[in-house]
Amino acid sequence: MGVLPRCGARHRDASEGHARPPRPPRVQPPPPGPKPWPIIGNLNLIGALPHRSIHELSRKYGPLMQLRFGSFPVVVGSSVDMAKFFLKTHDVVFTDRPKTAAGKYTTYNYRDITWSPYGAYWRQARKMCLTELFSAKRLESYEYIRAAEVRALLRDLHAASGSGRSVMLKDYMSTVSLNVITRMVLGKKYLDKEEAAAGAGSVVTTPEEFKWMLDELFLLNGVLNIGDSIPWLDWMDLQGYIKRMKKLSKMFDRFLEHVVEEHNQRRLREGKDFVAKDMVDVLLQIADDPTLEVELNRESVKAFTQDLIAGGTESSAVTVEWSISELLKKPEVIVKATEELDRVIGRGRWVTEKDMPSLPYVDAIVKETMRLHPVAPMLVPRLSREDTTVAGYDIPAGTRVLVSVWSIGRDPALWDAPEEFMPERFLGSRLDVKGQDYELLPFGSGRRMCPGYSLGLKVIQVSLANLLHGFAWSLPDGVTKEELSMEEIFGLSTPRKFPLEAVVEPKLPAHLYAEP
């Protein structure tokens, strides 16, 4: 798109007098887009997979496009230049969030990090994430947890492989991600079946229930709820989403209340000897700090805890499942990855996080998966805080802004054969996923970038590397690679519509799978 002319916040001139009542002129036109219908706007053009509908519209109307969702203008940026404008050049202008039913009902009335509005509360939460919860030192201190849970994943898959039947990969990946996150955030596996069987009394939610809750949370946080676009219809809950949000909120609160209460009881018991062991302990200590700019109450602690669990679990499970799906359609890529793993790691041990810089091809597979299947194909909506112009177009304050990572990942001006899965495109490339390269933004960028991206990346890389190192992968009998469905469902994340079933065959010495 080239250089963007006249980008910047616009200053209004109210000094001119007129015979008629002053009416501020529109200095610039709005971005191009389809003509909206009365009441519904352009909602009639958005299908069951909004990211695909919006991608097709942006191909027609360009990389900066205006839609109308009911009563609200929505601007979509779907190029590197537009992503840079919204997420970097004028990040602070577009760092607010629209008020949605999901934020209200599923995150304790906008108290979490994702949906809280721009202001002192959100700035404090972001600082807490960067300096306390996701600091390099704290993440490094939890590496033993990630290593142990990946070993457990490999052990469980090895046990399942003996039957010769196919395995449902997402079940295994969700378990490893959930166990890593609950041990790091909550201090133990609150959802562990063995604890429940032992009568430990701490299991208030089963693993199956919890996985359903996470899927539901991501779905409901990404849906186009009609009441968010046409507020006077909100009370009718035409799609039934608000009813589902309220049910989900009660289930999550029961679990989170139990967690917070257990942690509080330990603090009381240990008194001056108390040492924070996990992220909930850290949150509770921060909440007690009398010098905080904004008070953190119990609901804030629960909202942040929910954010940490959900964000850390979903991205890893979804990305690894898509990665193996793409590899099963391209067996030659598995061969190249195996050659690299055999050369660098050998057949006598597992891959560790420290090995990842020496595995550029496996890293390229991860990046290519994130390009084609970004966990959030459209970044969480932003809200313009000021009137702005971009590329000669008008964006008034209060406009909702979407950045289509999906479209950027399929831009033929950026990528050769953009629909093809080709990890080789990242070999020798300096492109990274850390929010500085706008061609590849799986975790977003700028102030609202996912604060836990480095943790998600570690779990994804080491899980995938070991799954490829420890097992030969194939499709079930009778299923060809051409028949493997790659359909998705849409929410805040975009998982496979049909969970991947695959046959795994161990290929390393048997004793490695038995390692604790």
User: pLDDT digit string (tens) for 157-167?
Assistant: 999 997 778 99
User: How confident is residue 354, by pLDDT bands cut at 50, 70 and 90?
Assistant: very high
240 sits in the region (left: phi over 0; alpha: psi -120 to 50; else beta) called left
Q: Which domains does the chain show, CATH number per domain?
A: 8-12+22-513 (1.10.630.10)
Token digits for 436?
Answer: 């500085």
Residue 132: predicted pLDDT: 87
User: pLDDT digit string (tens) for 223-246?
Assistant: 999 999 999 999 999 999 999 999
Token digits for 243?
Answer: 């009813």
- Element containing residue 153 per DSSP (H, E): helix 143-161
Q: Is 316:460 a contact under the CB 8 Å cutoff?
A: yes
Q: What angle do CA 378, 379, 385 make, to 5 degrees?
A: 120
Q: In a 3-state reduction of DSSP, which class is residue 506?
A: strand
- Whole-angstrom CA distances from 318 to 73, 324, 494 are 31, 10, 8
Alpha-carbon gap, residue 200 to 186, rounded angstroms = 16
Residue 67 pairs with which residues in a beta bridge?
Answer: 74
Catalogue the E-assigned strands of 1-63. 8-9
DSSP H helices, 7-119, are 50-61, 80-84, 101-106
- Which amino acid is it at 286? I
Q: In a 3-state reduction of DSSP, which class is residue 499?
A: coil
Q: Is 366:465 a contact under the CB 8 Å cutoff?
A: no
Measured between alpha carbons, how far apart are the two ends of the chain, in Å?
Answer: 53
DSSP 8-state code for residue 266: H
User: pLDDT digit string (tens) for 110-152?
Assistant: 999 999 999 999 999 999 998 888 889 999 999 999 999 999 9
User: pLDDT digit string (tens) for 418-454?
Assistant: 999 999 999 999 999 999 999 999 999 999 999 889 9
Alpha-carbon gap, residue 54 to 63, rounded angstroms = 11
Residue 191: pLDDT over 80: no
* Mean pLDDT to the nearest integer, 187-198: 68
Q: Is 321:499 a contact under the CB 8 Å cutoff?
A: yes
Residue 74 pairs with which residues in a beta bridge?
Answer: 67, 400
Residue 15: pLDDT over 50: no
- Whole-angstrom CA distances from 251 to 75, 161, 193, 301, 510 are 35, 34, 19, 16, 41
Residue 164: predicted pLDDT: 76
Q: Is 7 part of any known ligand binding site?
A: no
Indicate the burial class of 61 (C-beta count within 10 angstroms; 0-12, 13-18, 19 or more). Answer: middle
Alpha-carbon gap, residue 67 to 44, rounded angstroms = 11
Token digits for 151?
Answer: 């070993």
Provide the CB-side half-sphere exposure for 375 (13 A, CA): 27
CB atoms within 10 A of CB 371: 27
User: pLDDT digit string (tens) for 317-346?
Assistant: 999 999 999 999 999 999 999 999 999 999
Alpha-carbon gap, residue 207 to 191, rounded angstroms = 5
